Structure 1
Amino acid sequence: MKRPARPVLKLSLQFADASHRAQLPRHKVLRWIRAALDVPAEITVRIVGTDEGRALNRDYRQKDYATNVLTFDYEAEPVVVADLILCAPVVEREARDEGRSLEAHYAHLLVHGTLHAQGHDHEIEAEAQAMEARETEVLRALGYADPYA
């Protein structure tokens, strides 16, 4: 039996902070995002440093610190259009502090951001549980451990 085709993904991968370029080859980023997609998408992934990450979080979320991932979703239908902004120093620190590989943490955050781009959220406990379950399912299918275990 053939597996259903994954939705089409147009990906732009940008490195304002190139410190993790070697850990984020295009084919892996494509694989991680596609695994979480339910519909076609045009997604820009931008890897940034602390200053840009902090400025974006401050300007758009009124939180004056750099965060791991920001999702800017512009359209949901018929094609998801979104930007996923990941702050390399924050991702690296979190991976180290949580005892995860940098690759596994990037995979998790890209899956997380992709789910946000498709309308998933975690503001309400029931939604958070559903989103975390979907993240875990996708990551396990990709060969990564449950990030919430």
Structure 2
Amino acid sequence: MNTDEPALWLDVQLATEQPELCPPEEQLFTWCCLALQLSSPKAPEVTIRIVDNPESQQLNNDYRGKNQPTNVLSFPFESPIDLPAEAELSLLGDLVICLPKVIKEAAEQQKPVLSHWAHLVIHGMLHLQGYDHETEPEAELMENLEIALLAKLGINNPYIAII
């Protein structure tokens, strides 16, 4: 990798009525880089789109068949089969994060909002890199990685409920 090139190319889209409640782009970049588990000759490209409930609900319904907003959706880039090898696209994918859902969940879980943001960005970034939680072993691997990455930020295990 060229030393002048960043570890990641990040495009942030604020498609929310309350952009002032979004974490700064520099913070999103830090969380994305922390979660980056791939080594590649080219810096991967990621888009984070921060939306409100209606867009989150529509996307969640369209892609997952669940007619309700959700906190984060991950859309990994799938390279076309007929793409020549020399094209070397560095697109990792897109994350769509629902601002009102993040704020509501943080309050319900009694967690700092920025800690919940960090968790969801890291969680989504891991999905973009092929991690999943469909089976118990997959979930355990992904959750342990999330816990370790969040600990580097001084953030407690997000899977332990506050009593």
Query: What TM-score does the superposition give when structure 1 sets the normalisation length?
Result: 0.89
Counterpart residue type for residue 75 of structure 2: F
Counterpart residue type for residue 87 of structure 1: C
Deviation track 1:18-45 (CA, whole Å, cap 9, x = no partner) reads: 5254541111111101001022421100
In 2, the alpha carbon distance for the partners of 1:90 and 1:33 equals 20
Does residue 1:139 correspond to 2:160, yes or no?
no
1:54-133 aligned at under 5 Å gives the runs 54-75=57-78, 79-133=90-144
Does residue 1:52 correspond to 2:55, yes or no?
yes
Does structure 1 conserve the Cα–Cα contact (< 8 Å) formed by 2:56 and 2:98? yes
Higher helix share: 1
* 3-state DSSP of counterpart to 1:95: helix
Counterpart residue type for residue 126 of structure 1: P
Deviation track 1:32-64 (CA, whole Å, cap 9, x = no partner) reads: 010010224211001100000000000111110
In 2, the alpha carbon distance for the partners of 1:18 and 1:81 equals 27
Counterpart residue type for residue 159 of structure 2: Y
In 2, the alpha carbon distance for the partners of 1:114 and 1:58 equals 21
Query: What TM-score does the superposition give when structure 2 sets the normalisation length?
Result: 0.82
In 1, the alpha carbon distance for the partners of 2:22 and 2:100 equals 13
* 3-state DSSP of counterpart to 1:90: helix
- Unaligned 5+ segments in structure 2 are 1-5, 80-87
RMSD: 1.7
Q: Aligned in 2, Cα 1:104/1:20: closer, same or farther, shift over 3 Å?
A: farther
* 3-state DSSP of counterpart to 1:83: strand
* Equivalent position of 1:9 in the other structure: 8
Deviation track 1:37-92 (CA, whole Å, cap 9, x = no partner) reads: 02242110011000000000001111100000000001488735211000111111
Does structure 1 conserve the Cα–Cα contact (< 8 Å) formed by 2:22 and 2:99? no
In 2, the alpha carbon distance for the partners of 1:73 and 1:61 equals 14
